[in-house]
Structure 1
Amino acid sequence: MPSVRRRRCGVETRIFALGYDYTSGVWQFEGNFYVPQGSSGVIIMQIHGAATEATTLQLRVYNGDLKYYGNNVVASNIYDKWLRLNVIHNVGAGKVTIFIDGEQKLVVNGHGRANFYFKYGVYGALSASSNYMESRWKEVKLFKK
């Protein structure tokens, strides 16, 4: 996929095909991403849907760190390099597991049952987002167990 680049609002790709929205099971998102220096305060990947919130997962970039929402650091110093992201969502267990380059980085609780789907790209949903936003993605795949 080509680079995703926009000013302010951003652009995201929803995995939108028959059978890729889900309410149960174990699902895995895999993709290689690249975020250039200067993109900050942006969301680059989400699991959309939750019982009481809009999302179950947001991966955000702040000053070169990839974070779970704005809290836990998933990976540091990510600017200007390709990284492989794997996110496993076990709906029944209520767990989301995040891997970077094959290394488990974080396991978090889900936010309740809902209709879920994956999104990736770049989205400046925060008031602190940079004017310039970009993420590049390639080899995006979904798996269902």
Structure 2
Amino acid sequence: MCHHYDLMGYDYSSGVWQFEAYGYVPCGTSGVCVMQVFGSSPRPHATTLMVRVYNDSPSYYRAPVLVPNIYDTWFRLTVIHDVEASNVKAPGRGGKSHYFKCTWSLCTEHDGSNSYYMESRCKEIKVLKK
């Protein structure tokens, strides 16, 4: 089971947008998706950014590792998406319409790996247009 929080009313197709939130991933969780930027081009990709936690480290999709050793502590996550440059502080995947999504609790891995405990939390979510 997967719970998402779509940030409604913040769909965008141009400009520079910033997402900020605090995240928490308990020890023992692996493969959980913490945050996503939806919208990409060409298909079949659905996202232009996905922050996933494997073992104790959040990653841009599967690599590179963004920050090591974050289990059991609140961490600040900031994502800046420059639509025209197709850049999210990493190569973007294009697309014409985007929105931010926060994810928490029991999001299973897309490759079918067995991780029986998966959880993440987010709080103090902000969306800013630069």
Normalising by structure 1, what TM-score?
0.82
* Structure 1: unaligned runs, 5 residues or longer: 1-8, 98-107
Matched residues in 2 for 1:71 and 1:27: separation?
23
Matched residues in 2 for 1:40 and 1:132: separation?
8
Which of 124, 128, 131 is the matching residue for 2:108? 124
CA RMSD for the aligned pairs? 1.2
Deviating beyond 4 angstroms after TM superposition, the runs of 4 or more aligned structure 1 residues are none
Does structure 2 retain, via aligned residues, the 8 Å contact 1:87–1:96? yes
Q: How does 1:17-32 map to 2 (within 5 A)?
A: 17=9, 20-32=10-22
Partner SS for 1:115: coil
- The change in CA–CA distance for 1:137 and 1:129 in structure 2 (over 3 A counts) is farther
Normalising by structure 2, what TM-score?
0.90
Partner SS for 2:88: strand
Q: Say yes or no: does 1:94 pair with 2:76.
A: no
Aligned to 2:39: 49
Partner SS for 2:70: coil
Q: How does 1:66-77 map to 2 (within 5 A)?
A: 66-77=58-69
Does structure 1 retain, via aligned residues, the 8 Å contact 2:32–2:120? no
Which of 75, 84, 90 is the matching residue for 2:76? 84
Q: Deviations over 1:66-119 (max 9, x none)?
A: 11101100011110001101000000111102xxxxxxxxxx111012210000
Does structure 1 retain, via aligned residues, the 8 Å contact 2:36–2:47? yes
* Structure 2: unaligned runs, 5 residues or longer: none
Q: Could you tell me which amino acid in structure 2 is paired with residue 84 of structure 1?
A: R
59-68 vs 125-134, greater mean Cα deviation: 125-134
- The change in CA–CA distance for 1:26 and 1:65 in structure 2 (over 3 A counts) is same
Q: Deviations over 1:37-87 (max 9, x none)?
A: 111111110001101210000000100011110110001111000110100
Aligned to 1:100: none
